[in-house]
Amino acid sequence: MAKKSEFKGQISDVDLRMLRIYKVVVECGGFSAAEVELNISRAAISIAMSDLESRLGFRLCQRGRSGFSLTEEGQQIYNYSLQLLSSIEDFRTQVNTLHTQLKGELNIGITDNLVTMPKMLITNALSELKQQGPEVIINIRMIPPNDIELGVLDGRLHVGIVPTLRALAGLNYHPLYEERSKLYCSHNHPLFDVDDSEIDLSAWDAVVPAYAQTALIKACHQQLKATATATDREGIAFLILTGQYLGYLPEHLAHQWVAAGKMRAIDPDKHHYETDFSVITRKGARSNLVLETYLEHLMGES
């Protein structure tokens, strides 16, 4: 088998342009969808991808009638591109720091369904950051907590908001929220009008989380008859609202349905638990005025 050519030489502006195009193509799932996002023709995208493959020395993606998919090398190049482009943006932000001007990007990862928290710490801090630095670009990623931690560790994210389950050595943790969850059923569930003292939880189907939890929270879910799982809290809400499942939801998230008479908490004094949320940043990260300003506003809010 012929040895693949190695990538040599300096990374040029042309290389960066092709990598940015490649990033958009991957995130859009193909050339056609990327046309609108990039505002260039499909033919131009195809040429850029072919040139990038020639430059790197291997095929990045399969495209044709069977659809668009990444090769193994293509997935790795996408991951490397995110790190490279993030580093370039960090450099631009750091240079702007010398001028004490708030310019650059803030890449933030947030656990799902925190927007309904009564204390809008994240929202208020973002608002203050944007008012102080109108040219700041804010990129929010709603992804699972473990992906947020990895993103902060490898530099793709500047900051994250995650449940405090464990402390990773490379991260700083700053307490932000305490969230209470209760056990709910919907208005069309047989238990909606049943007295709490008469309910046997083990007799009813329930949805439980398919993501990491503390031992105390797991113990609460182990009392349920788990016949469904969900990877996030919105998924749990979907299943509770079918009228077929019980499930734990954050009090602030369930409030809209409780107020409308579409959900109720089952024996809330007995069936509840608390989840702590923290702001995470990478230990030893370079100075970044945009991030520092955001954290100042966020911690000031809390």
pLDDT tens column, 246-256: 999 999 999 99
Q: Does pTM surpass 0.75?
A: no
pLDDT given for residue 1 in this prediction? 39
pLDDT of residue 88: 86
> What domains are there in the chain, each with its CATH number?
13-81 (1.10.10.10), 90-175+279-301 (3.40.190.10), 178-276 (3.40.190.10)
Average pLDDT over residues 83-112: 81
Rg, the chain, Cα only: 24
Best mean pLDDT range from 24-28, 142-146, 242-246: 242-246
Is the pLDDT reported for residue 124 higher than 80?
yes
* pLDDT score of 78: 92
250 or 68: which leads in pLDDT: 250
Q: Report the distance separating Cα 41 and Cα 35, nearest Å.
A: 6
Q: What average pLDDT does the segment 254-271 reach?
A: 97
Check pLDDT > 80 for residue 166.
Answer: yes
**What is the tens place of the pLDDT at every residue in 151-162?**
999 999 999 999
